[in-house]
A = this chain, B = another copy of it.
């Protein structure tokens, strides 16, 4: 087979030799064979333990676990945030993750009464209210309906909620970590409702969970019949207990607490129920004392996940990769722009991988860092034309007590040592 022409063309930008901007190259740690440094690097010249000794076999782990060297990649909770861990939240370690799929064991949790432990054989899904035929399903029943597979992000409406008051928490795991994205498998809610037959005056749906907090949310029938799903699998396997095993509701692009876990009942009615988790909570208090309610859609949002406060830049000057996530409850992400100077200059980022509606999108921006102070920001635009706002624009529109739906632009300050801090700038 003839070899191709040398791939080292003059016009190809070499990361070692330096970028078009003339900044430093990836110099320090890339050793060349033949250089004195490499020849004396025992990791290159000597036989290592793993080169010579047998490892564990195929019977060691019927269900695999991460490397011991990844034990820092975990969900984290903030002890002072809530009075106890039962009605509380933990956060996805976004700064450590890649791509658009969140591994099941790292999906953030938000519970009101802790994790319900339900044997699937004992679980029932009831449909009642304004239906032609009330029904009760077992899990085996549900698996006999047509199945579908969809990748969706789930974001808690309170994600970034602490940040309304300013730059509070030092890490994107904490500022943005109440979001995850997996492939769900389940049955369309429309199919289930059609089985019961929604009466002509049935215009609202109440979804209720089986845990001790019995979470309930009202969902307009138009959405329920559109793209909602009752799901029993995530990333190919059964839901995790903390994600609602054996059954949860999926409400694509909408507030996380509508995705009721441990789903046990769907009631059809002719008006919303105005329960606690959509009145006292999950409404947006405005400056005039009124509150916006039923703000269902999780709006367009983005954040640079790495580097970030928990992931400082350690390689010094030179070629630097910024990695981040963008998403919108309105559809796909059309474009992400990134700035390294606090908004004076914006550059288009590269979106990589599948672009799926109401799923996470991964973006990258690369540049040569000269070691100077930076103010990193990302700004997303979705396919409906919505542009991610600044936090100041949000505060102007909604006042200082909004709590939920903070999709404002995030700023990270980078100092010359690569140490990163959560800041706000005007």
Contacts and interface: CB of A to CB of B under 8 A. Distances in A.
A245 B99 contact: no
B74 A63 contact: yes
A353 B149 contact: yes
Interface in A68-108: 68-70, 73-77, 79, 84-86, 88-90, 96-107
Interface in A250-305: 262, 270
Oligomer: number of copies: 2
30 contacts: A3-B200, A3-B203, A3-B221, A4-B203, A4-B222, A6-B202, A7-B190, A15-B195, A16-B135, A33-B128, A33-B134, A43-B124, A48-B122, A51-B210, A51-B214, A55-B115, A55-B116, A55-B211, A60-B115, A61-B105, A62-B90, A64-B104, A69-B119, A69-B246, A97-B233, A99-B236, A100-B149, A100-B236, A147-B321, A148-B353
Interface stretch (A312-320, A393-401, A410-418): A312-320
Contacts of A73: 63, 237-238
Given A1-B203, A146-B366, A8 B194 contact: yes
Interface stretch (A137-145, A164-172, A334-342): A137-145
- Chain A facing B: main interface SS: loop
A240 B77 CA distance: 24
B235 A99 contact: yes
Given A7-B193, A30-B141, A69-B238, 20 more contacts: A1-B204, A7-B225, A12-B194, A14-B195, A29-B140, A30-B135, A32-B134, A33-B126, A33-B134, A33-B136, A38-B136, A50-B116, A54-B114, A57-B86, A59-B79, A63-B66, A98-B147, A140-B314, A145-B321, A235-B235
A113 interface: yes
Interface size class of A (residues with CB under 8 A): 35 or more
B32 A135 contact: yes
A149 B386 CA distance: 26
A248 to B, nearest CB: 13
A133 interface: yes
Nearest to A238: B70
Contact of A315 (B31, B32, B144): B144
A3 to B, nearest CB: 4
Nearest to A191: B15
A102 B50 CA distance: 27
Contact of A151 (B53, B89, B204, B354): B354
Nearest to A200: B6
Contacts of A76: 62
A15 B116 contact: no
Looking at A66, A123, A210, the one whose CB has the most chain B CB atoms below 10 A away is: A66
Given A3-B270, A50-B262, A56 B115 contact: yes
A22 to B, nearest CB: 17
B356 A354 contact: yes
B2 A203 contact: yes
Contact of A54 (B113, B144, B350): B113
A206 interface: no
A183 interface: yes
A172 B298 CA distance: 41
Contacts of A222: 1, 4
B149 A55 contact: no
Nearest to A5: B200
Interface string A29-53: 1111110001001011000101111
A302 to B, nearest CB: 16
